[in-house]
Each structure stands twice: as C-alpha cells, then as structure tokens.
Amino acid sequence: MALRGQIADQIAAVIVAYIAAIDSKEIAVVGAGWALAYEVLIPRSKRWATPLALTAMAIIYSAGKMFGPDSLSKVGGYDLEFTLHRYFINNEKYLNSLFYSEYFHNSRQLLIAWGLLTVVCAAYRKREVWWCWFLVSTATIGTSFTLVPRDGGSLYFPLLGWALLMAVLVNVLARRPVLEWAAAGLVVILWGHETIGQWRDVAHLYLEVQNPTWSAITQIRDLPRPRPGSRVMILNSPFDGWDAYFIAELVWNDRSMEIRMGDKSPAPPSAEELRSFDWVLAFDGNRLRIVRRP
C-alpha cells in the first residue's frame, strides 16, 4: 500500500509539473510525447498511466489552442501554415540559433544534418540514444509551422533535447571516467572558443536590446503597489509584444489583479471602459506615466 501511495504521489507530481510547463510555455506540450516514447523505447517495467494521461492532456490542450474560441492560432504571430516549406524555414532558423551558426539556410542542409544524426544514433544501437534522437526531432514541432518563427523561450525545450542527446552520446562513447572528463573538457574548450569570441562582438547589441526591458521593470517596480484585486490598464508600451504585461505580472506577483493591454485589444478602450479600471498607465516612448490612480 505504501508503495502504491508513493507511485500515485509521483504520478500526481509529474502531471502537476506538466500542467505548469504548458501553462508557462505552449511548446512544452511535446513533453507528453517524450514521456510516451520513453516507455516505448527504454527496456523496463512499463508504466503507461502517466504518459497516457499526459498524452490525453496534450491532445485536448492542443485542440483548444488551435480550434477553441479565442484560440492562440488566431493571434497575430501564431498563424499556422502546415507546409514543408514553412517547416524547413523555421527549423533552419532554430538550428542556427541553438548552435550559434549561420550554416543552415536551405532544406537540403537540414535534411543532410538530420540524416547524419540518424546514422550516428543507429551506429550506437542504444535505446537511450534513439529516445534522445526522438527528442531533438520533435522538440520544435509546436513552433515548426508558425508563420512567424519563434525564438527566445521557445528554444528552451529544443536546447534541453540537444543537451540530453549530447550527454548520452558522450556517456556511451566514453564510459571510463578519464575519457568522460577529457570529452567534457574538449567540448568546453571548443564551445567556449566559438561563443566567447562571438560574444565580444555582439555583447553591446544584446545590452542595447535589453535597455527598454530593464527600464520598464524598474519603472513598474517603483510605482506605488496597486491594492489586491485592482484592475490595471496599460494603454501602450514600448514593445511590439506582451512584454509590459508579463513584466507587470511578475513584478506585482498578485493573481487577484486584472492587467489589460490597451494596444493588444481589438479596439482601443473607450473612455467609459477606462473608468472601470483603478489604474491607467501609459508609456511615452520608454517613460512610464500614470494617467489615473486611486
């Protein structure tokens, strides 16, 4: 009974973690496929309850995101185009971003790289390697068909997949501790040589891009804190995306507040609608201004 209770607790923990993951970033939906593939490929006592539950959740979640009312696929930037052309264009960009490369710029190069990876995995003849091959082959599936290729946080899952694959390949190749440390040292030296040299040339560009973000964080943080349950309208922001909304949510960290973005609504908020908000904020360029407060 104690063992069953422990297993039930573990299943519940995995499901809760998965819900938190897809609530944080939609690309985490592929995690259900990873769990299912693990049970299929790795020789052990099979426990299907968790991966099947995750897969059912992933299917329902994906259907809602694609076909539900106000679905994400209808939001600008998330429109979908289910073509091979779109798949190759997006994944060329993703691989270049992941490996700090400019090598991938056509579908043939992408197919050759995937073919070489498949040959390498086949040469190892290990189920763990094939599971990692599945990870890197599916990690970007959630963003492979968006008309606007994603970046940033959308690459965390692919990065995890590649890190696991490389770790497994090194572990299988170099089972002796001396060889493992030598391989790790070689990777660090080669990767450091490539990334540090590039970072010196582009560091100032990254810092310039982050200046508006840091400015918004400090200005929202320095505001008098809205009371719990407050309704806050941010009329506009210096960002193209939802950065100001997420910054306000993270800085105030109060789920009882309702935060709205005026420039992300189908139509600008009317004067009558604005009167229903406790706080009304606006940005003049990068400078935050309080239009109204209690």
Dump pLDDT digits (tens) for 13-27. Answer: 888 888 888 888 888
Provide the percentage of residues in the chain whose pLDDT is more than 90.
20
Cα(140)–Cα(144) distance, integer angstroms = 6
**Which strand (E) or helix (H) includes residue 58?**
helix 49-67
- DSSP bridge pairs for 158: none
Is the CB of residue 277 less than 8 Å from the CB of residue 232?
Answer: yes
What local confidence, expressed as pLDDT, does residue 231 receive? 94
CB count in 10 Å sphere of residue 162: 18
Nearest to 27 by CA among 163, 119, 174, 155: 155
pLDDT the model gives residue 247: 94
Task: Tell whether the model's pLDDT for residue 1 goes beyond 60.
Answer: no
Q: Which is more confidently placed, 176 or 228?
A: 228
Angle made by CA atoms 6, 8, 14, in degrees to the nearest 5: 105
Higher pLDDT pick, 222 / 72: 222
Indicate whether 6 pLDDT > 70: no
Give SS3 for 145: coil
Say if residue 37's pLDDT is above 80.
yes
pLDDT at residue 45, as a whole number? 64
The two structure tokens encoding residue 16: 């809760």
Domains, the chain, in order of start with CATH, read: 1-74 (no CATH), 76-173 (no CATH), 216-292 (3.40.120)
The pLDDT assigned to 217 comes to: 94
Cα 258 from Cα 245, distance rounded (Å): 10
Q: Which residue has the higher pLDDT, 160 or 232?
A: 232
Give the closest residue to 250 by CA, choosing from 221, 285, 283, 212: 221
Handedness of CA 18, 30, 144, 163 (dihedral sign): positive
Top mean-pLDDT range of 77-81, 167-171, 178-182, 283-287: 283-287
4's enclosing H/E stretch is helix 2-24
The pLDDT tens digits for 193-219 are 777 777 777 777 777 778 889 999 999
Which pTM was predicted? 0.63
Which pLDDT value is given to residue 287?
93
43-71 pLDDT tens trace? 776 778 888 888 888 888 888 877 777 67
Q: Which long-range contacts (CB under 8 A, 24 or more apart) does 153-159 make?
A: 153/25, 154/25, 154/27, 155/94, 155/97, 155/98, 156/25, 156/27, 157/25, 157/27, 157/28, 157/30, 157/31, 158/94, 158/98, 159/98
DSSP letters, 162-216, are: HHHHHHHHHHHH--SHHHHHHHHHHHHHHHHHHHHHHHHHHHHHHHHHHHHHHHH
* Mean pLDDT, rounded, for 146-170: 82
Which pLDDT does position 174 carry in this prediction? Answer: 64
pLDDT tens digits, 227-275: 999 999 999 998 888 899 999 999 999 989 999 999 888 788 888 889 9
pLDDT of res. 4: 61
pLDDT at 169: 79
Of 244, 226, 227, the closest CA to residue 282 belongs to 244
SS3 call for 288:
strand
268 HSE (CA, 13 A, CB side): 5
DSSP type of residue 22: H
Number of H helices, E strands in the chain: 10, 4
Backbone region of residue 169 per phi and psi (left: phi > 0; alpha: psi in -120 to 50; beta: other values): alpha
- At residue 261, the pLDDT reads 93
